[in-house]
Structure 1
Amino acid sequence: MQEELEKMVQLESGKLSFTDNQIDFMLQNIGNLDPYLRDDVVYTLLARGFTENSFIPEQKAKIVTTFISSRNLFKGIEQPQNDLIFLRTFNALLGELILESDNDKPILTDSERQLLFDWSIRYLKEEKDFRGYVTTKGWAHSVAHGSDFLGATLSHHDFKPKSVSAIFDVITSIFQNLKNPFVDDEEQRIAFAFFQGVNFQKIASADFNSFVDDFDKQIYQQLLHDDRANWYCLSSWFRLLQNWYFYFSTNKEVQDNLLSKITAYNEKMGFTL
């Protein structure tokens, strides 16, 4: 089966079609520890299947049903660091693909859609394994993949936030669980997800600015406790601010507030601008 799928990866756009057995194999191997099979074959074909509309409706429904019923997005999430992280994070990417496809043309029921919205927020609050690239096993990248899933929710035309504070709690949870510095551009992916929330008017600019004001104060207050993890949080927060500053280039209300925080950071670090 793997050889069949490897050949399919080489097909030109528009030439793909899938059997049910091939889809079963891909879903069973979405978290495979072989990075070539997982990333370059299985995920690549799942992504192309959705973006090139190569799955028939019944196959899309099968993928959605399996995604929901398996609950692989949360499999082992309460356990110590282990290889189930690959199953979770590549299911987060699958959740993104499903929501983006549904945003183009509905493939979900109302209840399925709401469940995926809720899961995209819940996942980043519960995930604690923040490894990026794992030697011999490839990308775990939970925060990046989870942020992509969240971004698909925040850019979906049917998403109506129950609570904006619950969305911002995602960032709070990530920083509470941050024990080591991010080294694989996780901040960029977090920043873009929340930019999408404001850009698609799911989060008001005023609410975003209020969160930035409050969280910025909280980050500096944590430095009163001389703990290295708090300094990692400050560094990651600064990178978030930088990414947001460029993403919000056409939103002066937000960009001016971000610039004030960036300038204050540099002054606190002894740099004169």
Structure 2
Amino acid sequence: MELKQALKELNRNEFQGDLNDLLIHMLHQIGSTDPVLRDELIYTTFGKLVTEDFLRKEQLTYLLNTCLDDEHLFYRIGERGTDSVFRRSFSVLVVALILEKDRESRFLSENRIAAVREACFRYLREEQDTRGYVEIKGWGHSIAHGADAMTEVIRHPLFDIGKMDECLEVIQECLFKEATTYVDDEDERLLFAIEALLDQGLSEEHLSKWIESLSTELEGLFQQNGYSVEVFHIKGNVLSFMKSCYFRLIMKGEFLEARSMIEKVVERWTRKIYG
């Protein structure tokens, strides 16, 4: 049976085929360049299967292990502008689904959770194709999807709070990726990870120092490259992230110290660039 038809039947609760076989075919096509098949059918169906308890623990584990392997999450990692990004990006999105499920009904070991965490960190560090929406082929959104997975890592009850600094380092690396201009709400998705860290006990002082470190790194880049296109794009990413963070903190009604630090950094860079 054609995959699209099988997925439509499953979402109407009319599917009569072999679910294991269907999973294999879905994983094979997870990075399809057909946005309807990839996003509206395959990913949506993964969401239904995972969240509505269609899958046994063994099937969930198989799904997770496959999505994390070198033919999925790390498939041609480092490429830019090619179709391989869809396979990586939608694999990490399924990882996020499974982590969320494990938060509700635990079936993964502590060691497995640690391995997933390290894979998610590695993915966000190594992903170089940062396109959001790709004409005709739909959403790539690798950084946003990776941020979703990292947020689920942080929210998990087995999250190692000793890894907070590394989480911040990964977010910082995302903001400073070369040849990258974020225009599809990547900053908002990264901020969910910041909120999760705050919920896990990240102190306001720690957050403020990290915000200042973003400005320090940006200053170093500016000193090295001056008024280059690269610097302007990264400056835009960093300041957009900070501004979004500022208003997210206002919505929480607290974190005055961190908000004050953002105000100082934004003012500093506005005066530096525009006088």
Counterpart CA distance in 1 for 2:165 and 2:61 is: 32
After superposition, the Cα gap between the structure-2 partners of 1:214 and 1:263, relative to the gap in structure 1 and judged at 3 Å, is closer
1:219 alignment partner in structure 2: 218
Contact 2:208 2:257 (C-alpha < 8 Å) held by counterparts = no
Tell me which moved more, 100-109 or 170-179: 170-179
1:171 alignment partner in structure 2: 171
Residue 8 of structure 2 is aligned to residue 6 of structure 1: yes
Counterpart CA distance in 2 for 1:70 and 1:228 is: 34
2:35 alignment partner in structure 1: 35
2:63 alignment partner in structure 1: 63
The number of residue pairs the alignment matches comes to 267
Q: Structure 1 stretches of 5 or more lacking a match?
A: none
Counterpart CA distance in 2 for 1:264 and 1:66 is: 43
Contact 1:178 1:229 (C-alpha < 8 Å) held by counterparts = yes
Q: CA deviation at 1:34?
A: 0.9
Contact 1:18 1:54 (C-alpha < 8 Å) held by counterparts = no
Q: CA deviation at 1:261?
A: 2.2
Q: CA deviation at 1:116?
A: 0.5
Q: CA RMSD in A?
A: 2.5
Identity of aligned residues (%): 24
Contact 1:238 1:262 (C-alpha < 8 Å) held by counterparts = no
Counterpart residue identity of residue 52, structure 1? E
Counterpart CA distance in 2 for 1:197 and 1:39 is: 29
Counterpart CA distance in 2 for 1:156 and 1:17 is: 34
Contact 1:49 1:55 (C-alpha < 8 Å) held by counterparts = yes
After superposition, the Cα gap between the structure-2 partners of 1:17 and 1:117, relative to the gap in structure 1 and judged at 3 Å, is farther
1:92-146, Cα deviation, whole Å (9 max, x unpaired): 1011011111111112122221111111111111111111111121111111111
Contact 1:241 1:258 (C-alpha < 8 Å) held by counterparts = no
1:262 alignment partner in structure 2: 263
Please report the TM-score for the alignment, with normalisation by the length of structure 1: 0.88
1:240 alignment partner in structure 2: 241
Please report the TM-score for the alignment, with normalisation by the length of structure 2: 0.87
Q: CA deviation at 1:16?
A: 11
Q: CA deviation at 1:218?
A: 2.4
Tell me which moved more, 127-136 or 52-61: 52-61
Contact 1:216 1:261 (C-alpha < 8 Å) held by counterparts = no
Contact 2:144 2:190 (C-alpha < 8 Å) held by counterparts = yes
Residue 109 of structure 2 is aligned to residue 109 of structure 1: yes
Counterpart residue identity of residue 233, structure 2? Y
Residue 203 of structure 2 is aligned to residue 204 of structure 1: yes
Q: CA deviation at 1:167?
A: 1.8
Counterpart residue identity of residue 24, structure 2? D
Map 1:134-153; keep pairs closer than 5 Å: 134-153=134-153
Q: Structure 2 stretches of 5 or more lacking a match?
A: none
Counterpart CA distance in 1 for 2:221 and 2:189 is: 24
Contact 1:17 1:54 (C-alpha < 8 Å) held by counterparts = no
Contact 2:35 2:137 (C-alpha < 8 Å) held by counterparts = yes
Counterpart residue identity of residue 243, structure 1? S
Contact 2:148 2:193 (C-alpha < 8 Å) held by counterparts = yes
